[in-house]
Amino acid sequence: MQSFHLYLYGTDCGPIATTFESAAARLQALPRLYLEPDGSFVWTQVGGSEQIFGMLYDAEGQLQYVELRGQCKRPTWRQLVLAIIGSDSGGTAQDVADDHRLDAKGPIGSQRDGLLVMNLPGRQLQELQRFEETAFC
């Protein structure tokens, strides 16, 4: 299980290609996720061993970035990322929660391209895919 504290950005550290409202709706579809109207949320898995705290930051009609802190396994991480960024196929977060094919070639492959992660407190910037490869090996 991996512990982390990071910021998730869109391409070139720009906005993530979704709106606050869309990301919030997808997050709320995840079981045991509690979302406040201000964009703060907590997601705890059964048993409490996996828990993620987050905050959605928006401006000008786009999701600017997301702060994420907690610990989880790779499948939980992938479900959360898909819920935040959305799906090219238009699927919901619950569709992903029910999908056990969340590998590197899974349903969020193309949507992840270009996303960046800044690890805190060291402020190390890296591609999302590289972060996943090293953090969840």
Distance CA 78, CA 123 (A): 22
CA angle, corner 5, sides to 37 and 77, nearest 5? Answer: 75
Distance CA 97, CA 80 (A): 9
**What's the alpha-carbon Rg for the chain, to the nearest Å?**
13
Full DSSP string of the chain:
-EEEEEEEE-GGG--BSS-HHHHHHHHHTSTTEEE-TTSEEEEE-TTSS-EEEEEEEEETTEEEEEEEEEEE-HHHHHHHHHHHH--TT---HHHHHT----STTSTTHHHHTT-EEEETTTTEEEEHHHHHHHHT-
What is the rounded average pLDDT of the residues 89-103?
Answer: 50
CATH number for the domain including 90?
3.30.310
Distance CA 119, CA 2 (A): 13
Tokens of residue 121, six digits: 């407190």
Total domains in the chain come to 1
Instruction: Give the structural domain span for 121.
Output: 2-135
The model's pLDDT over 45-68, given as tens digits with 9 standing for 90+, comes to 988 889 999 999 999 999 999 999
What is the rounded average pLDDT of the residues 9-36?
Answer: 96
What is the rounded average pLDDT of the residues 108-129?
Answer: 84
Q: What's the predicted TM-score (pTM) here?
A: 0.84
What is the rounded average pLDDT of the residues 17-21?
Answer: 96
